[in-house]
Amino acid sequence: MGAIFGMSQSQVCTWIHVLSPVLKCALEIEKCLPKRNPRKLREALEACELHDFIIDGTECERQRPSNPSEQKDFYSGKQKAHTYNNIVIVDEHEQTVAYLSQIYEGTYHDKAICDEERYAFPENSTLQKDRGFQGYEPESVVTYQPKKATERRALDRG
């Protein structure tokens, strides 16, 4: 970011700490912040006009812990790095983040986070997911998982 805005790294860090609360406040006033409580997920998703959602896991790198046992907790074998994990649920039509999960250690699998937080979706919703959620089938929800493309067949929606 420093290169983009013509600043030093320390200036960027200072401005991020100054502007992040301002951004959060503005998004809160506009009611654009994603929900963070899994118990209130259903009511947040029911507020969406159409019940078509996309679920995905995100990983964000973190500094490698100095304690060996913490290193093991945060190591993501998939990214070969130490990470934090989140689950994001997006309203497919509005293209907005409707829900952002709590932060989990890098060893948590996407489906395991869903199982732990016990998400509840509105009835007759559709949910697009990737292979990280294989076997995740919430009640009264139609799920789509794309099939791998081959030379003879294009990527299938599910």
Assign 157 a pLDDT band (cuts: 50, 70, 90). Answer: low
CA distances from 129 to 24, 87, 141, 143 (A): 28, 11, 12, 7
Residue of higher predicted confidence among 156 and 47: 47
Domain count, the chain: 2
pLDDT of residue 2: 67
Q: Are strands 81-91 and 104-105 parallel, antiparallel or unpaired?
A: antiparallel
Q: Is the same domain home to 54 and 69? A: yes
36 CB contacts (<8 Å, ≥6 apart)? 99, 100, 101, 102
CA distance 62 to 60: 6
Residue 6 predicted with pLDDT over 90: no
One-letter amino acid of 146: P
pLDDT of residue 48: 84
Residue 152 lies in a domain: no
Q: Domain range holding 61?
A: 35-144
Q: Is the same domain home to 25 and 84? A: no
Residue 156 predicted with pLDDT over 70: no
Average pLDDT, the chain: 84
CA distances from 69 to 44, 66, 75, 84, 113 (A): 37, 9, 10, 16, 21
Provide mean pLDDT across the span 81-99.
Answer: 88
111 CB contacts (<8 Å, ≥6 apart)? 132, 133, 134, 135, 136
Assign 7 a pLDDT band (cuts: 50, 70, 90). Answer: confident
Instruction: Check: CB of residue 84 under 8 Å from CB of residue 78.
Output: no
Q: Is the same domain home to 70 and 13? A: no
Residue 149 lies in a domain: no
> Terminus-to-terminus CA distance in the chain, angstroms?
38
Assign 118 a pLDDT band (cuts: 50, 70, 90). Answer: very high
Instruction: Check: CB of residue 97 under 8 Å from CB of residue 65.
Output: no
Asked which of 77-81, 131-135, 153-157 is least confident by mean pLDDT, the reply is 153-157
Q: Is the same domain home to 51 and 84? A: yes
DSSP category for residue 156: B
For the segment 123-153, what is each residue's pLDDT rounded down to a tens digit?
999 999 988 899 999 998 999 988 777 777 7
Residue 76 predicted with pLDDT over 80: no
**Token couple for 140:** 């009264």
Provide mean pLDDT across the span 103-132.
Answer: 91
